[in-house]
Amino acid sequence: MIRKHPRSAARRIGTTAGCIAAAVLILSGCAGAAKPKVYRVGILSGLNFIADIGAIFQAKMTELGYVEGENIAYDVRAMDFDMAAYQAAAQDFLDADVDLILVFPTEASQEVKKATEGTDIPVVFSFAFVEGTGLVDSITAPGGNVTGVRYPGPDLALKRFEVMMEMAPGTQRLWIPYQRGYPIVEPQMEALRPVAEAAGVTLIEFPADDAAELQADLDARAGMEDIGFDAIMFLSEPLAVTPEPFEVMAEFAYARKIPIGGAMMISGGYASLYGIVGDIGSSGTEAALIADKILKGADPGTIPVVSAESYFQISVTAAQALGITVPEGLLAQANEVMR
């Protein structure tokens, strides 16, 4: 059962009591320095791959003047894509009546939003999709008790497409595998379709549940004179960045010198050509800046959602194995070049 938190009334009572106490101290001549408020912040790290966001958030909060043990206390819960654990952690934060919750990524953020509805506990999400997830009313006016740092999935899908066209300019058919039914896929495809059509590129979507489905499709294509596509591009979703499915696709691509990239993945002796993702450092830092505003009295529902910066990696080793020469302009743009 969700418990409502009459925080505003409590604050008025606390303020009145504080004034009376201060007056007594002054009249008695015993006035001393008031103890600073200790903010209680719950951190729900919902994916091991991006757990550093929590530490980056805390480091930035320290820069902003929040010193652990003096004026802030953290309750950190770390788990790896576990819906039941998300729900349990959210309830613990509710029971503790924390002053703010930082949560990431998308699925954990959705669970915390659901758990805190009807309360005035502010929620700051990070590394989370807002398109098609119901996290916010809009980017500029998120509404309710929630705001945060958006993972710019549709924007990154377009950047991934642009880079693939530069690395493999002859591409006319692009195979796009993704986890079947994954909700954040469609907003990315909606952004991609008109851009690909304008470029004369056919997008071949392949939703799958696991590596076995990918293997079956690629085995069928392997016996064809024309396999039906010129390159493989990954979206922001879990299938392509899971080792077994990635290795199935990479083995097929490497054997045929087919460009494969979008998200940086290294597994089974293979690597993707390039990856463009939301920057973890930006995600943690921006979340702290938002949290600071909220702890100083801002209404989270009125604080616009911000977007994480992107992080661009290129594997020259993979490019060489695939017989691709990476344009110097792309190498100059990359945040990291792997050789």
The pLDDT of residue 19 is 44
Indicate if the pLDDT at residue 15 is higher than 70: no
Task: Inform me whether the pLDDT recorded for 284 exceeds 90.
Answer: yes
Mean pLDDT of the chain: 91
Q: What is the mean pLDDT of residues 72-92?
A: 96
126: CB partners within 8 A, 6+ apart:
53, 57, 102, 103, 104, 105, 148, 149, 283, 284, 286, 287, 308
User: Do you know the residue count of the chain?
Assistant: 339
Please give the pLDDT value at position 2: 40
pLDDT at 187: 94
Per residue in 100-149, pLDDT tens? 999 999 999 999 999 999 999 999 999 999 998 999 999 999 999 999 99
- The yes-or-no verdict on residue 238 having pLDDT over 70 is yes
Which pLDDT band, with edges at 50, 70 and 90, does 48 fall under? Answer: confident
Residue 114: predicted pLDDT:
97
pLDDT of residue 32: 52
pLDDT of 6 higher than 60: no
Residue 13 corresponds to which tokens in the numbers above? 């009572």
Look at residue 281 in the predicted model and tell me its pLDDT.
Answer: 97
**Residue 181 CA to chain centroid, in angstroms?**
19
Q: What domains can you pick out in the chain, each with its CATH number?
A: 36-152+280-308 (3.40.50.2300), 154-277+312-338 (3.40.50.2300)
Q: What is the pTM of this model?
A: 0.78
Among left, alpha and beta (phi > 0; psi -120 to 50; other), residue 113 is alpha
- With 60 as the cut, is the pLDDT of residue 213 above it? yes
Comparing 31 with 229, the larger pLDDT belongs to 229
- Residue predicted with more confidence, 112 or 237: 112
pLDDT-based confidence at 49, cuts 50/70/90? confident
CB atoms inside a 10 Å sphere around CB 224: 8
Those residues with Cβ within 8 angstroms of residue 44's Cβ, 6 or more apart along the chain or in another chain:
77, 79, 86, 89, 90, 93, 101, 102, 103, 104, 108, 112
- For residue 7, pLDDT over 80 is answered with no
Residue with the two structure tokens 């349990």: 88
Which strand ranges, in their side-by-side order, compose the sheet holding 336-338? Answer: 274-278, 310-315, 336-338
Q: What is the pLDDT of residue 8?
A: 39
Does residue 265 register a pLDDT over 80?
yes
Determine the average pLDDT of the residues in 182-195: 94
pLDDT of residue 37: 94
pLDDT more than 70, % of the chain: 90
- pLDDT higher than threshold 70 for residue 10: no
Confidence class for position 13, pLDDT limits 50, 70, 90:
very low
Q: If pLDDT is split at 50, 70 and 90, which confidence band does 179 have?
A: very high
